Amino acid sequence: MRRFLSILSATVFSAAFSASLLPGAARAGEASVPVLVPLTGFLSLEGTSQRNGAVLALKDAPAGVAVRSEVIDTGTSPEAAVTALERAAGGKVTAVAASMLGTQMLAMLPLAQDYGIPLVTVSGTASITEQGNPWVFRFFPGDAVTKEAHARYVAEELGKKRPAVIYQTTAYGQSGKAHLEQAFKKLGVEPVFEEGVDPAAKDLLPVLTKALAAKPDVLVLHLHSGPTALFIRQAAANGVAVPIVAGSAMHQPSTAALLEPAELKGVCAETAASPISGGSPEVEAFTAAYRAAFNAEPDAFALGQYDGIRMVLAAVQAGAGTAEAVRKALSAGTHQGLAMTYRSDGKGNMAHSAVIVCYDGASRVPAIAKRYDNVTGVVTGMAK
Amino acid sequence: MRNGVRKLWALAPTLTLPRFAGEGIGVAVLVAYALLYASPYGLRVLTVAGVYALAAIGFQIVFGLGGALSLAHGAFFGIGAYATGILGSQWGLGFAATFPVSLLVPLLLALLVGLPVLRLESHYFALATLGIAQVVHLLAVNSPGLTGGANGLPGVPGIVLFGWAVPRGLPLAAAVWGFVALGGLVAWRLARGHWGRALTLVRDDPLAAGTLGLDVGGLRLAAFALSAVYAGAAGALAVHTQRVVSPEVLEFPVMVSVLTIAVVGGRGRVAGAILGAVLLLHLPEWFRFLERSYLIVYGVALLATIVLAPHGLTGLLDRLFPSRPAPLPEPAAPPETAIPTGPLLRVEGLTKGFGGVRAVDGVSLTLEAATITGLIGPNGSGKTTLVNLISGLETPDGGRVMMGNSDMAGQRPDRIARAGIARTFQAVSLPEGANVLAAVAAARLERDGSIALAEAHALWALERLGAADLAAKPCAGLPAALRRRVELARALARQPAVLLLDEPAAGLTDGEKAELAGHLRAIAATGTALLVVEHDMGFLLPLAGHVLCLDQGRPLYEGPPEGVRSDPAVVAAYLGEGV
């Protein structure tokens, strides 16, 4: 019922939102920002967060900026994403809120370059900003940032030296696993166990058992939402005492909703941000607005996409009247977002901070345990 | 629901069109849309529809014509995609090199895996091919060094034809649809020719196909391999259109899309593949504005299509706008085949057991030219098993089946059929979707150079049995007596030296039996040796010159028909005590 209400709220809000964007409003600038995200398929939860974040940012457009937008489901295939981009490109486009799925982004990049459309995404897949394409902007810390925070928390804060790494056999999982390996290596830590898990796996007890047989001192997860919840539930049911530090999927309220608070006790996770954990009046206001609009809890993807679209709109408000002007503004500017300060590293990586959140076993709202700001040192004037 | 659909059918107007008028109109509409109306987005969707049309055309060969539900088709699509992706993005090779490789790799894999899996029956075959697809997907995901892993490989170059880099939009759509046209034409010619007819018979009745001289295994393997080539070509074009290859091309949704296209478009039809692909790729786009709810509308639309058009869209169009039927050919007698005199078939000590049961136990018999031999015995005595052993549908445990100097025991049915043995079945089996002429012409596919010639010879066979007027009628719905006659005509069209008939008089009236007896005597008079399995002694004993009676797989009596009723062992075992 809760999920139904959430979908209903989102749909009603989207309709109201579209109606509010009819031409005729007074404007200093005009922005057309299609939202092309996965609303169906295995990434529908995350994609819906992404959609909601973008829609909320467009609804809260700065004064004098009129926005036009439509939401198109990209599913999970690269082909559908390219088709959606081609469809969106039929009109004058300022920027696109683009899918968080790495393979879809890789497919959309050449077309975005051909059409000259900035893609604003929260995809964590490292390779999307390694193609030399100047039209991609990632408002979510890449694996180079989050996995360094992940590994540093495990090694420096928890003092663990024998991690077992369990990752997903998807682009997200393989990219994260590769960066975890590098980060652990830099810290002088050698994982005692590494195994990939298919996202369709219905029982993770076998991999948990194998991991425990390697006698790890910490379980490091890099799984999607559903598998993360399943793994933690099975670990709790089997009385596993080894601490768990999960990937960003764990911080999502929709993941925590799949578990009892007691099952979450002691579990930590890396993420870009945790809006439901609060931290500032602005973040709390965002969370309240999000809940009111969508009858759902916001996560880091929603906040990242919100911040990204807000930066686009700020550029338009500042006079960027074309997609090229917006691209330049995103490439060269600095934006103080709700989650962090954003600035491009020259490749389109805008986010350089991550946090570690932990659950106390009493509620599904985690507390921020550690911040890792400006991990890459890109944001000038901010300490690493 | 079914009745409602039938009523709708009945109300539908019927307008007879010249042949291929519908296809011509469809092509004209498609070209006009692409040239005059389609936006870049429209052309993109059309291009992707072309990719899926090509994949579905290939699937029509293995599934539509061959009847094999190959769930590896999506894997072959993905393998073609990866061949192009790896060679194009990692090795820097161009379209001229990558495209042939994308056809060749799926072909070789299909030949390799086809040999074992094509032996499996229906759902086991589907499961085995699904397993192949899963293995290929796992390999792609877990071999990042070669495939880029789950991220895939970006930077795949576009299509380059004769030094011209085909740009996105209309040129790319035209290039893809050019391949669709070429592939469609090849598939259409194959489907309408010998090969397609033979494959259809293999789909409808593989046992009968084998006994009509068709190499069932070879045909299935060829269909499987050819479909893989089409899938590989489609996969290569898919990668060129999206410029990245990732494991999604190997995932089950690709397979489901192709299967849905084939079913919605019309099973076995090239036009169905194209129509289905165009519709199914555009349908979700039309409802995209509904965000995630479009899937519900899409599902309802698909369901409605399947309910209202159970034979696919092409079947619906055929019903609404039937083509003028092709005229019947002039009957023509096939070239005479010299049937030798004397013994044509010698069965020596044939044995067959099923578990602990000896179904045939040391049976010997000789069939002389121009004679009719009756084979009788109680139910379960081994009569049909003996016919199956002789015709190759069962492999004997021991003994010999001599045709001249050749031992045919254990040979494939098609080889035995080519040696001159034809048969009919206890339960008449005719392809329900075909008309009588096509069903009988199937017997000539292995021998005649063209479909027209095969049909002319088939009409000759029908005429011999006084059934030429049935030629244009569909096999489905024929009464039992006529079905038996059509099946006999099909066996006769083989011009067999030896004809094995399994209960040919079952279900016939006395008048029909008398007519059948006359036909069998006429066939025997041409030199053919007949073995007739029958329970009806009133029909068989006056007809046969020689009778063999089996009981529990063993010969009980062999001799003239007059001796059957007086042999105490036969009376006890078969006719019953006290008769």
Q: Write out chain B's pLDDT in tens, 579 residues.
A: 445 544 544 544 455 556 667 778 888 888 888 888 888 999 999 999 999 999 999 999 999 998 888 899 999 999 999 999 999 999 999 999 999 999 999 999 999 988 887 777 777 888 888 888 889 998 998 888 899 888 889 889 999 988 889 998 999 999 999 999 999 999 999 998 889 989 999 888 888 899 999 999 999 999 999 999 999 999 999 999 988 999 999 988 899 999 999 999 988 889 999 999 999 999 888 887 777 777 788 888 888 888 888 888 888 888 888 777 778 888 888 888 777 788 999 999 999 999 888 999 999 999 999 999 999 998 889 999 999 999 999 999 999 999 988 999 999 999 999 999 999 998 888 888 788 999 999 999 888 888 999 999 999 999 999 989 999 998 988 988 899 999 999 999 999 999 999 999 988 899 999 999 999 999 999 999 999 999 888 999 999 999 999 988 999 899 999 888 888 888 887 655 544
Show which of residues 240-259 on chain B sit within 8 Å of chain A, judged by CB atoms.
241-244, 246-248, 253
Which tokens hold the place of B79?
């393998």
Rounded to the nearest 5 degrees, what angle is found at the Cα of A257, between the Cα atoms of A256 and A259?
Answer: 70
* Subunit contact A79:B48, Cβ cutoff 8 A: yes
Residue to mutate among A49, A50, A79, with most B CBs inside 10 A, is A79
Name the residue of chain B whose CA is nearest to A48's CA: B292
Per cent of chain A over pLDDT 70 is 91
Give the torsion sign (CA, B488, B494, B496, B498): negative
CATH of region A143-271+354-372:
3.40.50.2300
For A66, the 3-state DSSP assignment is: strand
Query: Which fold would CATH assign to domain B343-575?
Result: Rossmann fold (3.40.50)
Q: What angle do CA A272, A277, A279 make, to 5 degrees?
A: 85
pLDDT of residue B289: 72
A360: distance to nearest CA of chain B, Å?
34
**DSSP code for B323:** B
Q: Which residues in B lie closer than 8 A to residue A86 (C-beta atoms)? A: 40-41, 44
- For residue A32, the model assigns a pLDDT of 94
Instruction: Please report, for chain B, the start and end positions of each structural domain, with discontinuous segments joined by +.
Output: 41-269, 343-575
Average confidence (pLDDT) over A249-259: 91
ipTM reported for the complex surpasses 0.90: no
When pLDDT is cut at 50, 70 and 90, the band that residue A28 belongs to is low
Mutate which: A8, A35, A86, vs B, most B CBs within 10 A: A86
Query: Would you give the distance in Å from CA B565 to the centre of its chain?
Result: 45
- Whether residue A171 and residue B246 make contact (CB cut-off 8 A), yes or no, is yes
Mean pLDDT of chain A: 89
User: In which band, very low, low, confident or very high, does the pLDDT at A185 lie, cut at 50, 70 and 90?
Assistant: very high
Q: What angle do CA B454, B458, B459 make, to 5 degrees?
A: 120
Nearest to A78 among B144, B248, B291 (CB): B248
Query: Which chain A positions have a beta carbon within 8 Å of B149's beta carbon?
Result: 171, 174
Lookup: tokens for B412? 């494939």
Residue A377 CB neighbours (<10 A): 11
* Average pLDDT value for residue range A196-204: 90
Closest chain A residue by Cα to residue B147:
A171
The answer to whether the CB of B156 falls within 8 A of the CB of B244 is yes
Token digits of residue A165? 């790494």
DSSP codes of every residue in B64-125: IIT----TTHHHHHHHHHHHHHHHHHTS---HHHHHHHHHHHHHHHHHHHHHHHTTS-HHHH
Tell me whether residues B288 and A87 touch, CB distance under 8 A.
yes
**Which residue in B48, B144, B289 is closest to A174 by CB distance?**
B144
In angstroms, the separation between the Cα of residue B77 and the nearest Cα of chain A is: 14
Are B210 and B414 in contact by the 8 Å Cβ rule? The answer is yes
Q: Nearest Cα to A369, choosing from A268, A253, A283? A: A268
Of A73, A83, A125, the CB nearest to B45: A83
Residue A39 has pLDDT above 50, yes or no: yes
Spatial contact of A104 and A78, defined as CB atoms under 8 Å apart:
yes
Domain definitions of chain A by residue range: 2-140+278-343, 143-271+354-372
Contact A107 B45 (CB under 8 A): no
3-class secondary structure, B533:
strand
Query: Which residue's structure tokens are 């192009």?
Result: B84
Residue in the block written with tokens 């799925």: A101
Percentage of chain A exceeding pLDDT 90: 74
Spatial distance between the Cα atoms of B454 and A121, rounded to a whole number of angstroms: 64
Q: Are B168 and B175 in contact (CB under 8 A)?
A: no
For B335-384, write each residue's pLDDT tens digit: 887 777 889 999 999 999 998 889 999 999 999 999 999 999 988 899 99
d(C-alpha B447, C-alpha B434), whole Å: 20
In whole angstroms, give the CA distance from residue B266 to residue B315.
6
pLDDT above 60: residue A17: no
C-alpha span between B72 and B60 (Å, rounded): 14
Contact B112, B267 (CB under 8 A): no
3-state secondary structure B548-574: EEEECCEEEEEECHHHCCCCHHHHHHH
Residue carrying the six token digits 């259809």:
B200
The chain A residues in contact with chain B (CB within 8 A) are: 7, 11, 14, 39-40, 44, 70-73, 76-79, 82-84, 86-87, 89-90, 102-103, 106-107, 109-111, 114, 125, 127, 131, 169-175, 196
Cα B151 from Cα B133, distance rounded (Å): 19
Could you tell me how many CB contacts below 8 A there are between chain A and chain B?
97
Q: How confident is the model at residue A342 (pLDDT cuts 50, 70, 90)?
A: very high
Q: What is the pLDDT of residue B436?
A: 93
Distance from CA of A40 to the nearest CA of B (A): 6
pLDDT value at residue A5: 45
The region that residue B123 occupies, defined by phi over 0 for left and psi between -120 and 50 for alpha, beta otherwise, is: alpha
With CA atoms as reference, report the closest residue to A305 among A333, A272, A276, A277: A272
Q: Which residue from A90, A169, A172 is facing B142, i.e. has the nearest CB? A: A169
Q: Which of B44, B149, B289 sits opposite A86 (nearest CB)?
A: B44
Q: Which of A73, A79, A175 sits opposite B292 (nearest CB)?
A: A73
pLDDT, tens digit, for every residue of A299-338? 999 999 999 999 999 999 999 989 999 999 999 999 999 9
A107 to B238: CB separation less than 8 angstroms, yes or no: no
- A24 pLDDT more than 50: no
A2-140+278-343, superfamily in CATH? Response regulator (3.40.50.2300)
Q: Round to the nearest angstrom and report the end-to-end CA distance of chain A.
A: 44
- Name which of B168, B242, B291 is nearest A71 (Cβ-Cβ): B291
Contact A103 B244 (CB under 8 A): yes
Decide if pLDDT at A246 tops 90: yes
Q: How far apart are CA B404 and CA B344, in angstroms?
A: 6
Best residue in A106, A135, A169 to probe B by mutation, most B CBs within 10 Å?
A106
Using the predicted structure, report yes or no on whether residue A156 has a pLDDT greater than 90. Answer: yes
Quick one: pLDDT band at residue A4, thresholds 50, 70, 90? very low
Cβ contact A86–B291 (<8 Å): no
Per-residue confidence (pLDDT) for residue B18, from 0 to 100: 60
Which residues sit opposite B354 in a β-bridge? B357
Of the candidates A7, A90, A109, which has its C-beta nearest B39's C-beta? A90
- d(CA B235, CA B136) in angstroms, rounded, equals 14
Minimal Cα–Cα distance from B148 to chain A, Å? 9
Q: Which pLDDT band holds residue A227 (cuts at 50, 70, 90)?
A: very high
Dig out the tokens for A340 from the structure. 């962090």
Q: Would you list the DSSP string of A36-65? A: EE--SSTTHHHHHHHHHHHHHHHHTPPTTE
Contact (CB<8Å) B248/A77: yes
Q: Cα–Cα distance between A321 and A81 in angstroms, integer?
A: 26
**Which residues of A are less than 8 Å from B141 in CB distance?**
169-170
* Alpha helices by DSSP H, A116-239: 143-152, 171-186, 205-213, 225-237
Distance of CA B515 to the CA centre of its chain: 33
Q: Which helix (H) or strand (E) holds B335?
A: none
- Tell me what pLDDT residue B8 has: 46
> CB of B289 within 8 Å of any CB in chain A?
yes
Residue A173 with chain B: CB contacts under 8 Å = 150
**B289: which chain A residues are within 8 Å (Cβ-Cβ)?**
70
B244 and A11 within 8 Å at the Cβ level: the answer is no
Cβ of A174 and B238 within 8 Å?
Answer: no
CA dist A331 and A343 (Å) reads: 8
Query: Quick one: closest CA in A to B154, which residue?
Result: A106
Nearest CB partner across the interface for A78, out of B41, B155, B242: B242
Residue among B421, B418, B397 nearest B346 (CA): B421
Taking contacts as CB-CB distances below 8 angstroms, the residues of chain A near B293 are 11
- The token pair at B409 is 């025991």
- The whole-angstrom distance between residue B485's C-alpha and the CA centroid of its chain comes to 23
Q: Is A159 exposed, middle or buried (0-12, 13-18, 19+ CB in 10 A)?
A: exposed
CA distance A291 to chain B (A): 20
- Taking the C-alpha atoms of residue A304 and residue A349, their distance in angstroms, rounded to an integer, is 12
Report yes or no: B201 and B431 within 8 Å, Cβ to Cβ: yes
Strand order in the sheet with B372-376: B421-423, B498-502, B529-533, B372-376, B546-551, B554-559
For residue B248, list chain A residues with Cβ-Cβ distance below 8 A.
Answer: 76-79, 103
Is A87 in contact with B238 (Cβ distance < 8 A)?
no
B363 in Cβ contact with B345 (< 8 Å):
no
